[in-house]
Amino acid sequence: MSTATLPSLSSLLSSRRPHHALPAGLYTRPDVFEADMQVFFQNHWILVGLECEIPEPGDAQVLDIGKAGLILLRDDDGQVRAFHNTCRHRGARILDAGATVISKLVCPYHQWTYEPTGELIHAPHMGVDFDKSCRSLKPVAVRNVGGLLYVCLGENPPKDIAVLQDVMEERLAPYGLRDAKVAHQVDVIEKGNWKLTMENNRECYHCVGSHPELCVTFFDLDFGFDPAAMSAEERARAEQHVADRIAREKRWEAEGFKSSHVERVIDCETNFRTQRLAINGGGESQTPDGKAACAKLMGSMTRKDLGDTHLWGHNGWNHFMGDHVVSAMVIPLTADTTLVRTKWLVHKDAREGVDYDLNRLTDVWIATTDQDADLVARSQAGVQDPAYEPGVYSPHTEKQLDNFASWYVQRMQAHGY
């Protein structure tokens, strides 16, 4: 099909049927990918890293997000700052993607030099009248939400990030993310559109069929179920599970640990959802046997029995447990490839081989992430099939996908598509 015969993006968006998956073009077309990057990765808040990845002055993390380059660093006064990674002379990239340590930011092209505050301090051969003061690096809006770093690359960052901060700072405080370290990181490039990656992570309908390791500690029942599809015995077990969850949540809340379900998923700019859920098995952590993987607990945590505080956003998901944290961020690469970067955090003083065994810490989510990558590739292959027709979501186990697809369409339309 030539581009001229393709439906417009706005007609694709308005053709999405309520409660159904998105039309194929929204998962496959390069022009939609460009629009997605502009709307959801340039003009919404995105999760880009962790404060503990830049613990000391001069520590920097550099990331490519589509065509945009981002520098995250800690300045000499200890403040976290973010800049666009493009030189104010002729635009060259200043730092390469990855982790680095800087004292000044020196552009490799003609050595224009910037302070960690972004101020231009050295620009040789520009003449005596050259005004350096208006050529600082362009800042990027950054928010530190209890140790999770969010940026908005655009000029008008959504104000409702304040809701996320309000809800999560209190919940994250005991986990002491600032005093954590990344024990392990894995990059997986999924062969699918970023929205398929996000949809896959919002349901546990597929867990029983695909995630034997995760199912030891994860209750798929927490992600919805259809009583009508169950035997009397299964239904009784599911109802008991829900009753236990409510009782446990009340107990945790009474003990001062916020646990309730909070969601901002439609009619909002900053999409997030959080809830503290119980862990199956040993009840402590997402490990092969449910027992904590790290003897030294996170932050000020003194208990291992506080479940898993989940946090989903539109480009990532996180699990905060007593002994460790799993934080995944999603960066689209092309219409049909997506980077999923998963980090395992432990207390900064925890010693590998003494306080934790790296395999026990990472086994479950390495396996789960690989299994999810297969599912996403399978979805992408299927949605680009000419025979694909958007299917209906389960009202019981895929409600979060329905909400995500509705939010996606709403936000695209709000941005003029």
Dihedral of alpha carbons 334, 194, 176, 348, sign: negative
Which partner in ligand 3BY, Fe ion, ligand FES, none is near 212 (CB below 5 to 8 A by kind)? Answer: none
Q: How far is the CB of 180 from Fe ion (least distance, A)?
A: 25
Distance between CA 32 and CA 390 in Å, rounded? 17
- Name the residue with tokens 């996320």: 164
Distance CA 242, CA 262 (A): 17
Phi-psi region of 348 (alpha: psi -120 to 50; beta: other; left: phi over 0): alpha
From residue 369 to residue 408, the character string flagging contacts with ligand 3BY as x (rule: CB under 6 A) and all else as - is ---x------------------------------------
Kindly state the tokens that stand for 358.
Answer: 């790296």
Determine how β-strand 148-152 pairs with β-strand 180-190.
unpaired
Query: With contacts defined by CB under 6 A, how many residues of the chain interact with ligand 3BY?
Result: 10
Between residues 336 and 372, which has the closer beta carbon with respect to Fe ion? 372
The minimum distance between CB 119 and ligand FES, in angstroms, equals 15
* Residue 27 contacts which entry, ligand FES, Fe ion, ligand 3BY, none (Cβ below 5-8 A, type-dependent): none
Q: Which of 200, 259, 270, 285 binds ligand 3BY (CB under 6 A)?
A: 200
CA distances from 131 to 83, 99, 109, 134, 350 (A): 20, 31, 20, 6, 49
Question: Chain-centre distance of CA 70, in angstroms?
Answer: 16
Shortest Cβ 15–ligand 3BY spacing (Å): 28
- Strands 120-122 and 113-114, by their bridges, are antiparallel
Q: Which is nearer to ligand 3BY, 62 or 340 (CB)?
A: 340
Q: Is 150 helix (H, G, I), strand (E, B) or coil?
A: strand
Q: Which is nearer to ligand 3BY, 59 or 203 (CB)?
A: 203
Sign of CA dihedral 166, 56, 83, 331: negative
Calpha distance 268→266 (Å, rounded): 5
Between 148 and 187, how does the x/- string for binding to ligand 3BY read (CB under 6 A)? Answer: ----------------------------------------
Taking the complex as a whole, the smallest distance from the CB of residue 400 to ligand 3BY amounts, in Å, to 9
The site string for Fe ion over 368-407 (x = CB under 5 A, - otherwise) reads ----x-----------------------------------
Residues 75-134 contacting ligand FES, CB under 6 A: 87, 89-92, 107, 109-110, 112
Single residue of 43, 193, 197, 201 touching ligand 3BY by CB under 6 A: 201
The whole-angstrom separation of Cα 99 and Cα 189 is 19
DSSP 37: I
Closest CA to 340 of 372, 310, 381: 372
Rounded to a whole number of angstroms, the minimum distance from the CB of residue 71 to ligand FES is 14
Which residue number places its CB atom closest to Fe ion? 372
The residue at minimum Cβ distance from ligand 3BY is 204
Euclidean distance between CA atoms 343 and 341, whole angstroms: 7
Residue 203 is a binding residue for Fe ion (CB under 5 A): no
CA 271/CA 274 separation, integer angstroms: 11
Taking CB under 6 A as the criterion, which residues in 327-386 touch ligand FES? none
Stretch of 73-81, 204-212, 239-247, 261-269 lying at the interface with ligand 3BY (CB under 6 A):
204-212
Decide if 148 contacts 175 (C-beta within 8 A): no
DSSP-based three-state secondary structure for 197 = helix
> Does residue 223 belong to the site contacting ligand 3BY (CB under 6 A)?
yes
Q: How far is the CB of 309 from ligand 3BY (least distance, A)?
A: 13
Residue 286 sits in the site that holds ligand 3BY (CB under 6 A): no
Name every residue whose Cβ is closer than 8 Å to that of residue 371 and which is 6 or more positions away in sequence: 210, 211
Residues that bind ligand 3BY (CB under 6 A): 200-201, 203-204, 207, 211, 214, 223, 368, 372
Residues that bind ligand FES (CB under 6 A): 87, 89-92, 107, 109-110, 112
